[in-house]
Amino acid sequence: MARVLIVDDIKIMRYNLSKMLKELGHTIVAEADCAHAAVEAYKKYKPDLVTMDITMPMRNRMKDGIEAVKEILKLDKDAKIIMVTSHGEEEMVISAIRAGAKNYILKPFTIEKLQEVLNKIGLEEND
């Protein structure tokens, strides 16, 4: 079971992702609605996994999830980060993977697809 930080500026997306992750046996340690809050939550909670939206409102000079990935990886080079993104953001996904994200998932997605992505980065169900 992984301790998870969910980052998305849309509350319903955080809720839905939280519900799915809990069903898969994981624990949500924190949620954040912007890149800056994501980095601060990572420092505080040191989660096993971060789900990171790519496009979020700019706050405190940090403009998106890709910048948050870079900052988190400065804190912990082994951080496991999955990008959560909408169709049409392929270039941003490539940038996020190059920045160090472990994988990505396209919105909307099913719990089965989420589990598949978690398996690919070594987080098995009820791990």
User: Looking at the domain assignment, is residue 43 inside a domain?
Assistant: yes
The per-residue pLDDT for range 44-60, each reduced to its tens digit, is 999 999 999 998 877 76
**Mean pLDDT to the nearest integer, 82-93:** 84
User: Looking at the domain assignment, is residue 83 inside a domain?
Assistant: yes
The CATH number that applies at residue 33 is: 3.40.50.2300
CA distance 83 to 96: 7
The per-residue pLDDT for range 5-47, each reduced to its tens digit, is 999 999 999 999 999 999 999 999 999 999 999 999 999 999 9
Give the number of domains in the chain: 1
Stated pTM of the model = 0.93
Owning domain of residue 96: 26-109
CA distance 120 to 112: 13
User: Looking at the domain assignment, is residue 19 inside a domain?
Assistant: no
> Does the pLDDT of residue 62 top 50, yes or no?
yes
**Mean pLDDT to the nearest integer, 88-116:** 92
User: Looking at the domain assignment, is residue 119 inside a domain?
Assistant: no
Q: How far is CA 15 from the centre of its chain?
A: 13
**Average of per-residue pLDDT values in the chain:** 92
User: Looking at the domain assignment, is residue 21 inside a domain?
Assistant: no
The per-residue b/e assignment along 55-71, b for 16 or more CB within 10 angstroms, e otherwise, is: ebeeeeebbbbbbbbbb
Residue 105 Cα distances to 40, 59, 61, 85, angstroms = 23, 24, 26, 6
Q: How confident is the model at residue 116 (pLDDT cuts 50, 70, 90)?
A: very high
φ, ψ of residue 27 to 5 degrees: the values are: -110, 130
User: Looking at the domain assignment, is residue 104 inside a domain?
Assistant: yes
User: Looking at the domain assignment, is residue 68 inside a domain?
Assistant: yes
